[in-house]
């Protein structure tokens, strides 16, 4: 595909269709230099301007400018389980199956466990860094960007506006998209993106030659959905068993819940435990 074809195909159709069929993961980016992350100050606040880019010029890509990845991250008696969820690639996941059995038990205590260890959702897309005061050397360069539901909802609202006086915009379009002002605040110890917003519509660059260079510099997205990025069902099941304390883990039953109710109320009416801090710590890591 050349730049002329890209210009013709950059329509809203593929995005609106994707949103219609989108289900509601953290990618294993680690210290991958291809990824850009906004830096915050000591108070936990930060600001940057980025531009979401259209699907990369890579063989095998399906034309979507993002991928979504589900992830599990929680601590049990046997340690931590931090892994990609197999549902990201439409396969059965033993962690999800375990959570389903707990939830379907009807026991509120089991549901609380599921709430702590349910799968999380992240997206990965290509971006151009327009402004990065903390690291100006990043400006003008193409990176991968991992983000969560809050930012994705802002993208979705731009593609499918809720009010009749708002015009639909494809934020990924090189010519008719818009820069994204990433505004980060520290709210109760977590990163908050509520004040982030899109700027007015503008081309990503002054001429098509420069736009083509940005397009060619984009990174593959489908590689994050390769089977090699995921443990097999059996591997993940074995890790789940170790995390839960091996074979002696058993979900609560109605009778067990009734028998322990008095102890729970007298020992700690809040239901808090030493593991709560660990879960909170992981949640902060995942939010970043």
Distance of CA 186 to CAs 36, 97, 282, Å?
19, 35, 16
CA-nearest of 47, 68, 26, 52 to 287 is: 26
Q: What is the pTM of this model?
A: 0.75
pLDDT (tens place) for every residue of the chain, 288 residues total: 666 666 666 666 656 655 554 443 333 444 789 999 999 999 999 999 999 999 987 766 667 899 999 999 999 999 999 999 999 999 999 999 999 999 999 999 999 999 989 999 999 999 999 999 999 999 999 999 999 999 999 999 999 999 999 999 999 999 999 999 999 999 998 999 999 999 999 999 999 999 999 999 999 998 999 999 999 999 999 999 999 985 544 554 444 333 333 333 333 322 223 333 333 333 343 344
Helices assigned H by DSSP within 118-229: 149-159, 208-217
Q: Which domains does the chain have, with CATH numbers?
A: 3-287 (3.90.198.10)
- Three-state secondary structure call for residue 202: coil
**Following DSSP, what letter does each residue of 172-198 receive, concatenated?**
T-TTT-EEEEEEEEEETTEEE-TT-EE
3-state helix, strand, coil in the chain (%, to 5): 40, 20, 40
For 248-279, write each residue's pLDDT tens digit: 445 544 443 333 333 333 333 222 233 333 33
CA–CA dist 138, 47 (Å, integer):
14
């Amino acid at each position: 595909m050349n730049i002329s074809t890209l210009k013709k195909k950059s329509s809203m159709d593929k995005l609106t269709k994707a949103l219609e069929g989108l289900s509601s993961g953290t990618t294993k980016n680690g210290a991958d230099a291809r990824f850009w992350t906004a830096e915050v100050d000591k108070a936990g606040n930060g600001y940057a301007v980025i531009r979401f880019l259209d699907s990369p010029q890579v063989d095998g890509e399906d034309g979507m400018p993002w991928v979504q990845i589900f992830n599990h991250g929680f601590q049990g008696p046997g340690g931590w389980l931090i892994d990609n969820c197999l549902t990201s690639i439409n396969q059965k996941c033993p962690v999800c199956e375990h959570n389903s059995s707990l939830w379907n038990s009807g026991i509120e205590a089991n549901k609380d466990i599921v709430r702590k260890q349910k799968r999380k959702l992240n997206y990965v897309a290509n971006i151009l860094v327009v402004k990065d005061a903390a690291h100006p050397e990043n400006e003008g360069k193409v990176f991968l960007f991992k983000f969560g539901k809050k930012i994705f909802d802002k993208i979705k609202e731009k593609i499918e506006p809720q009010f009749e006086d708002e015009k639909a915009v494809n934020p990924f379009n090189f010519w008719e998209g818009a820069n994204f002002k990433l505004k980060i605040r520290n709210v109760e110890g977590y990163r908050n993106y509520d004040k982030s917003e899109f700027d007015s519509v503008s081309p990503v660059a002054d001429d098509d030659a420069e736009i083509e260079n940005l397009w060619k510099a984009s990174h593959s997205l489908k590689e994050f959905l390769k089977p090699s990025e995921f443990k097999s069902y059996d591997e993940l099941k074995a890790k789940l068993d170790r995390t839960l304390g091996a074979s002696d883990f058993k979900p609560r039953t109605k009778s067990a819940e009734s028998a322990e109710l008095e102890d729970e109320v007298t020992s700690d009416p809040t239901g808090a435990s030493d593991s709560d801090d660990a879960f909170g710590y992981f949640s902060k890591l995942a939010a970043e």
